[in-house]
Amino acid sequence: MIRPGVTLGGRYRLEERIAGGGMGDVWRGTDEVLGRTVAVKILLPALLDEPGFAERFRGEARTMATINHPGVVDVYDYGSDQQLAFLVMEYVEGDALSRTLSRVGRLTPARTMALVAQAADALQAAHANGIVHRDVKPGNLLVRPNGTLVLTDFGIARSALVGQLTVAGAVLGTASYISPEQASGDVATPASDVYALGVVAYQCLSGHRPFDGATPIEIAMKHVRENPRPLPGDIPPAVRAIVDRAMSKDPSARWPSASAMATVARQAASSLTTAVQQPVAQPHQPARTARPTSPAPSRPQSGAAARASVPRPVSGARGAASVPSAPPSPMPPSYRPQSGAPVNAYPPQATPAAKPESTFGRQVLVVLAVVLALLVLLCAGVISFLLRHGNGTPAASNTLGYHSSSAAILRSDVVADPVLVASYRLMKADAQLGSIRPNEGRQTL
């Protein structure tokens, strides 16, 4: 009885059943001698009853162990214990491609071609060693978390084909990927593996198998007689041509080798990946910009590239960073941008003239007032000086004239009136003081 905890060959302890198929079950186990995790493939007991099967399988296991390729699972050991035959292989961290397809439905053409190229490289390594897989299907393609693919279960399907096809439900997956020559009873060749890989690519691109049926024999006969349904219309023509040629009914019309199929699949995956990574330029698609709510210009943006938001007019040479992808709005007739100047989405607002600084104007006015006051004082002093020196001689002459006149009057015998004599004396005294005030003299008298 196979259950967790059973040890096979005295060193391989079974821990968990991880997969199953028409040829047997796969368990995750531990190599207690080397202390590493392994995958143990346990064949069905009924297969051991077939004459020559055990020896044939043991020989192919030895041949598989000689294949050194990163896309081929490593075979560590082969043994039999308790009427069981088992194959110890490398334990691959990852999911089977069949599980991925059941979860996502279909893959992109680029991803499909990348996986097909890796699987074809692994098949070429096996074909170079004289091994035909005979059972290429998504369940035997393991994908690691880093995207690399590993091909497993070589040589398991060499037993009688007719016996497999008559076991209902046991080899349904195998019948869905079987080549027409295998279904017709011919010997499997490397071209048979190419056909099966083409069916895997078809399922990855379309999300379903090319043929369905109630029994494995019905499905196998459809591979011989019918053509598959066309692939979806969104599949690139180059990818469609690769799959159609791989699924040709005539083995000679298929790709000449697995390496040739790997080359064209890798080229298709590279071209599709490059086309996806390149940005698609859309020069005629206007950018979605909001209308400005205020006509006032915003602050200049820093950096070589402007934000992809509302374009705002920016004064100066740095305004070129805010040029939007959309064509600018019509400018008024009065606005004429100069050649070489950056053009914004909206016409620049007229910048008001700078006002003079109040402090500087006050200083100028104070200086002018001081200078003017000095000029006024200087002019007043000059005028006063000229008046004083210009009136000095006449005043003296007048004084002398008054003095001589009064003396003459006093000496004259004609004037005998005492009042007149006193009046002249008062006028003489006033003349000496520089002012003639006859009224005051008369008031005094």
Lowest-confidence pick of 150-154, 197-201, 237-241:
150-154
Task: Report the candidate in 52, 70, 187, 183 with the shortest Cα–Cα distance to residue 125.
Answer: 70
- Residue-wise pLDDT for 231-240, tens only, equals 999 999 999 9
In the prediction, which pLDDT does 391 show? 54
Six-digit token string for 227: 């053509």
- Residue-wise pLDDT for 18-55, tens only, equals 887 767 788 999 999 999 999 998 888 777 777 777 77
Catalytic residue among 74, 135, 153, 193: 135
In the prediction, which pLDDT does 324 show? 42
In the prediction, which pLDDT does 48 show? 76
Percentage of residues of the chain with pLDDT beyond 90:
38
| d(C-alpha 303, C-alpha 74), whole Å | 56
3-state DSSP percent of the chain in helix, strand and coil, to 5: 45, 10, 40
Cα 153 to Cα 19, 89, 118, distances in angstroms:
12, 9, 16
pLDDT reading at 160 higher than 60: no
Six-digit token string for 324: 């939007």
pLDDT reading at 152 higher than 70: yes
Taking residue 397's Cβ as centre, other Cβ atoms within 10 Å add up to: 10
Six-digit token string for 320: 């070129």
Average pLDDT of the residues in 419-434: 50
Average pLDDT of the residues in 259-269: 96
In the prediction, which pLDDT does 3 show? 87
Mark whether 193 is an active-site residue. no
CATH architecture for residues 7-90:
2-Layer Sandwich (3.30)
pLDDT category of residue 425 using cuts at 50, 70 and 90: low
In the prediction, which pLDDT does 47 show? 76
Six-digit token string for 16: 């968990």
- Max mean pLDDT range (130-134, 265-269, 287-291): 265-269
pLDDT category of residue 361 using cuts at 50, 70 and 90: confident
- Max mean pLDDT range (149-158, 212-221, 329-338, 384-393): 212-221
The answer to whether the beta carbons of residues 105 and 203 sit under 8 Å apart is: no
In the prediction, which pLDDT does 157 show? 40
Residues 6+ apart with CB under 8 A from 347: 313, 331, 332, 335
pLDDT reading at 343 higher than 50: no
Residue 196 burial class via C-beta count within 10 angstroms: exposed 0-12, middle 13-18, buried 19 and up: buried
Residue 199 identity (one-letter amino acid)? V
In the prediction, which pLDDT does 78 show? 87
At 36 the three-state DSSP class reads strand
What CATH number is given for 95-275 in this structure? 1.10.510.10
pLDDT category of residue 396 using cuts at 50, 70 and 90: very low
pLDDT reading at 223 higher than 80: yes
**CA 330 and chain centroid, separation:** 33
pLDDT reading at 417 higher than 70: no
Residue 255 identity (one-letter amino acid)? W
Average pLDDT of the residues in 326-355: 44
Residues 6+ apart with CB under 8 A from 103: none
In the prediction, which pLDDT does 293 show? 47
In the prediction, which pLDDT does 155 show? 52
Q: What are the domain boundaries of the chain?
A: 7-90, 95-275, 363-444
134: left (phi over 0), alpha (psi -120 to 50) or beta: left
